Amino acid sequence: MTVVRVRGLVKSYGAVRAVRGIDLDIVAGEVFAVLGPNGAGKSTTVEILEGYRRRDAGEVSVLGVDPERATRAWRARIGIVPQNANDVYELTVRETVRHHARFYPAPADPDEVIERVGLAEKAGARVGKLSGGQRRRLDVALAVIGRPELLFLDEPTTGFDPEARRRLWELLAGLAHRGTTIVLTTHYLDEAETLADRVAVVVRGRVTALGDPRTLGGRATGEATVAWTEDGERRSVRTSTPSAAVAELTRRFDGEVPELTVTRPTLEDVYLDLIGTGGEEAER
């Protein structure tokens, strides 16, 4: 089932065209990442999907509803984790989650949600005393307390240390496993590769590539780099037939090739090729 359908989306800010005819389809249960440089139009696009920004042209359907005509019942079906949240620092974690639960017709159990996001030991702590990673977990708890069908996350791990990022990834993977559709914007390519079923690369207000992060831009069939050490120097060759190159090296060295590595283009390599020097126009 298609959860998000976008056709010909256009949005301008004065003379600046932030979004220039984007088409998207996001299906139920998938994790969909939107990538792109600052000013590319990705945040504007997501804000239109969330119903927080009006479009200039195009068709948008989110959970079967035009976000510009969204009702309170529609908003109860989505969850949003903004880049910067404004929590009440004086309340405890439990008080904050219970308070937000009252906004929804059939919320999840607050204590179960707190447990699921890994904040059970901090349930009685005041929000202002939480670490950055714990605050972000609270943001996710507030976004999922209403049992959303669709969850939007805007740069969810910015500023996290590696351990905190991994823990949040595990949480999001668990949500996706339970059937929550997730739309993720991120600058971390490893985050997109770990979490996303599909990615869209947005440059200058247009989608320039769309697909599985493992095969995007021909990654799976692109030239591989075969590298080895010979006469004390690191050497390499790019080839579309790495197996043949390795076989030839094996014959040359009569067995084990010193420090042999074979690598294909990373998602970062493909992404940098796709964005080129574009996407630096002001988004808003």
User: What is the per-residue pLDDT for 282?
Assistant: 31
Has residue 93 got a pLDDT over 50?
yes
- Residues 35-74 have pLDDT tens digits of 999 889 999 999 999 999 999 999 999 999 999 999 999 9
Residues 230-233: contacts with CB within 8 Å, 24+ apart? Answer: 230/258
Give the integer Cα–Cα distance in Å for 31 and 199.
9
Q: Shortest CA distance to 223 belongs to which of 244, 208, 202, 207?
A: 244
User: What is the per-residue pLDDT for 284?
Assistant: 31
User: What is the per-residue pLDDT for 162?
Assistant: 84
* 281 — pLDDT class (breaks 50, 70, 90): very low
Has residue 87 got a pLDDT over 70?
no
Looking at residues 174-194, what average pLDDT do you find? 91
Look up the pTM and report it: 0.81
Looking only at the bridges linking them, the beta strands covering 198-203 and 181-185 are: unpaired
